């Protein structure tokens, strides 16, 4: 920062004026930036939903005995049929794994959240904290900052809303993880378990990929061509973060939906529907034939 004196007063006063304007602009930007950093780096608190998770675990545990009885019954009636005996053993192994993952789902879910937070914090800490702020480093950049202030604030607000929605989904997601493991180890419902697990995993690690995007946009400042367009790079970075969140969630949902569509349950449903449709069309065909003969 330049020290003002009688010898450099003509240079110092305009610089102080621009720095004062930049500090006023940062008064609106800094709260949104702090909130964005918090939503990106801080681990999601899921302790609020632990009582509800415990209730769900208790309800699911009531069916453990039925699962073991079903597996044991299939093993007993398999006799000397090797295929049936192998299926019964596979089902018994799935029950044991299902119980383990359901009971440990809260711990596993919290560990994934902590891992995502640590990875994201490591990337965000590398970024220059002044990159996203309003600065009077050049006349071109300062003019662009004033011109693009409203779009920049709008993009920051949109990013905060998207990250807040992600925070809410991740926090509530701990309640759905036991159902995901329950469905995953039941063959007819496995695709639905994959759907829940895919969506939650993608949403948990969205901040890590967002941090990579923000670091990439800040690294472009080292290129002389982008030195005077910092506000443009910031807009592109936060816009890419919002777009990435939408894209990854949509991709996970579409992938899971297609897996459900091609699952065994859906194929059985389609077969049943086609069978019933063919049966219901027979009387109409016969009636039409009699009418034509008449």
Give the per-residue pLDDT at 273: 44
Task: Render pLDDT for 176-195 as a digit per residue (tens, 0 to 9).
Answer: 999 999 998 888 888 888 88
**pLDDT at position 290, please?**
45
CA distances, 116 to each of 121, 127, 179, 247, 257 (Å): 9, 17, 22, 19, 25
User: How high is the pLDDT of residue 171?
Assistant: 93
Give domain limits for the chain. 28-46+105-272
Please check whether residue 144 is in contact with residue 27, taking contact to mean a CB–CB distance below 8 angstroms.
no
Render pLDDT for 30-70 as a digit per residue (tens, 0 to 9).
888 889 889 989 999 999 999 999 999 999 888 888 887 87
Q: What is the pLDDT of residue 275?
A: 42
CA–CA separation, 155 vs 161, rounded Å? 10
| pLDDT tens over the chain, length 294 residues | 556 655 555 556 556 655 666 666 667 778 888 898 899 899 999 999 999 999 999 998 888 888 878 777 777 776 666 777 777 777 888 888 889 999 999 999 999 999 999 999 999 888 887 778 767 666 677 777 778 778 888 888 988 998 998 999 999 999 999 999 999 888 888 888 888 888 899 889 989 998 898 888 888 877 877 777 788 888 888 888 888 888 877 777 677 667 666 655 545 545 544 544 554 444 545 444 444 554
User: What is the structure's pLDDT at 5?
Assistant: 55
Distance between CA atoms of 55 and 39, rounded to whole angstroms? Answer: 28
Residue 262, pLDDT score: 63
């Amino acid at each position: 920062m330049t020290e003002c004196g009688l010898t450099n007063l003509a240079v110092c006063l305009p610089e102080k004026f621009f720095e004062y304007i930049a500090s006023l602009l940062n008064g609106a930007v800094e709260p949104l930036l702090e909130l964005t950093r918090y939503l990106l780096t801080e681990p999601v608190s899921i302790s609020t939903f632990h009582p509800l998770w415990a209730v769900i675990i208790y309800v699911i545990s009531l069916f453990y005995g039925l699962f073991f009885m079903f597996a044991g019954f299939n093993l007993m009636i398999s006799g000397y049929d090797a295929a049936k005996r192998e299926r019964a053993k596979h089902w018994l192994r799935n029950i044991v794994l299902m119980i383990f993952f359901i009971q440990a789902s809260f711990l596993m879910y919290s560990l994934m959240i902590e891992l995502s937070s640590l990875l994201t914090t490591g990337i965000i800490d590398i970024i220059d904290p002044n990159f996203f702020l309003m600065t009077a480093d050049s006349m071109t950049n300062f003019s662009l900052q004033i011109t693009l202030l409203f779009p920049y604030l709008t993009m920051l607000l949109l990013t905060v809303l998207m990250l807040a929605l992600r925070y809410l989904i991740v926090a509530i997601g701990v309640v759905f993880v036991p159902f995901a493991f329950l469905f995953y180890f039941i063959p007819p419902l496995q695709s639905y378990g994959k759907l829940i697990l895919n969506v939650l995993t993608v949403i948990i690690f969205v901040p890590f990929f967002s941090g990579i995007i923000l670091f990439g946009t800040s690294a472009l400042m080292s290129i002389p061509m982008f030195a005077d367009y910092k506000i443009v790079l910031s807009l592109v970075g936060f816009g890419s973060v919002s777009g990435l969140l939408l894209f990854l969630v949509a991709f996970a949902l579409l992938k899971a939906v297609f897996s459900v569509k091609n699952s065994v349950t859906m194929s059985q449903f389609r077969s049943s529907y086609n069978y019933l449709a063919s049966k219901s069309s027979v009387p109409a065909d016969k009636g039409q034939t009699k009418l034509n003969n008449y």
